[in-house]
């Protein structure tokens, strides 16, 4: 009995050592390539504007602010544009939220890209002379931040291990973060459009019949080398 217990304890100790070593190795593993030691940091924050409800809808300044918001949403936004109407603020808040929704659709947003919700206002959120809470319009803004390069340079003449410099790949990653069109693409991919079932069935039908499934050759794609200079 004692011998079996001793064997079990030794096996457990060996397993614990192996697990600890495996965890330490995984933590200290170097990057697969020298360029993967740097990464782009993607941050997100709310981008919102506050609009005072008006009986006539949106003023000229409010319409311009909504247009600027849509431009920022197209550049570095993700998800829908949310319209938060204050609950219990009467017809003016409803007309104001409806006017914002109409302005967003006129600016090219689809109905599925607009989210209309209500929120419970507090006493500190009043922006108009009548004491009405504002209509909050906003979206999630994404920003990409690259690494800071040139912080630690090693002497190339004293690298006896023939390894890349510690800053190798930093400039590429920093430039990528500066040039990315929409940082939200780094956080999550865009939704895919549904597949074309008719086209897929056409290709599969040709494949089952043993026919060529490629598209017909376009005559405009034909080319020949001119013999003028030959």
pLDDT in tens, 123-143: 654 555 556 788 999 998 888
pLDDT in tens, 162-186: 777 778 888 889 999 999 888 888 8
What pLDDT score does 175 carry?
92
pLDDT in tens, 49-73: 998 888 777 888 999 999 999 998 8
Q: Which has the minimum average pLDDT: 5-14, 97-106, 159-168, 195-204?
A: 5-14
| pLDDT > 90: percent of the chain | 16
Q: Under DSSP, is residue 221 helix (H, G, I), strand (E, B) or coil?
A: helix
Top pLDDT among 26 and 35 is at: 35
Domain at 41-145, CATH homologous superfamily: OmpA-like domain (3.30.1330.60)
What pLDDT score does 26 carry?
44
Mean pLDDT computed over 16-30: 47
Q: Is 82 exposed, middle or buried (0-12, 13-18, 19+ CB in 10 A)?
A: middle
pLDDT in tens, 59-108: 889 999 999 999 988 887 678 899 998 887 777 788 888 899 999 999 99
Q: Under DSSP, is residue 88 helix (H, G, I), strand (E, B) or coil?
A: coil
Q: How many helices (H) and strands (E) does the chain have?
A: 6, 4
Taking the domains of the chain in order of start, what are their residue ranges?
Answer: 41-145
**Cβ(46)–Cβ(138) under 8 Å?**
yes
């Amino acid at each position: 009995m004692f011998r079996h217990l001793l064997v079990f304890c030794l096996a457990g100790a060996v397993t614990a050592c192996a697990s600890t070593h495996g965890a330490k190795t995984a933590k200290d593993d170097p990057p697969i390539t020298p360029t993967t030691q740097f990464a782009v940091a993607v941050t997100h924050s709310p981008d919102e504007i506050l609009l005072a409800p008006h009986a006539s809808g949106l003023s000229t300044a409010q319409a311009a602010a909504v247009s600027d918001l849509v431009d920022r949403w197209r550049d570095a936004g993700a998800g829908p544009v949310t319209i938060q109407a204050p609950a219990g603020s009467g017809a003016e808040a409803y007309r104001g939220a409806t006017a914002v929704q109409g302005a967003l659709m006129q600016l090219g947003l689809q109905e599925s890209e607009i989210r209309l919700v209500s929120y419970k206002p507090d006493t500190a959120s009043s922006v108009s002379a009548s004491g009405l809470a504002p209509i909050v319009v906003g979206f999630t803004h994404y920003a990409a931040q690259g690494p800071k390069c040139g912080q630690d340079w090693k002497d190339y003449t004293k690298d006896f291990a023939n390894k890349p410099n510690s800053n190798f790949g930093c400039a590429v990653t920093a430039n990528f973060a500066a040039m990315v069109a929409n940082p939200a693409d780094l956080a999550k991919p865009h939704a895919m459009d549904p597949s074309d079932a008719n086209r897929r069935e056409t290709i599969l039908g040709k494949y089952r019949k043993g026919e060529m499934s490629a598209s017909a050759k376009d005559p405009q794609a034909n080319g020949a080398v001119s013999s003028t200079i030959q």
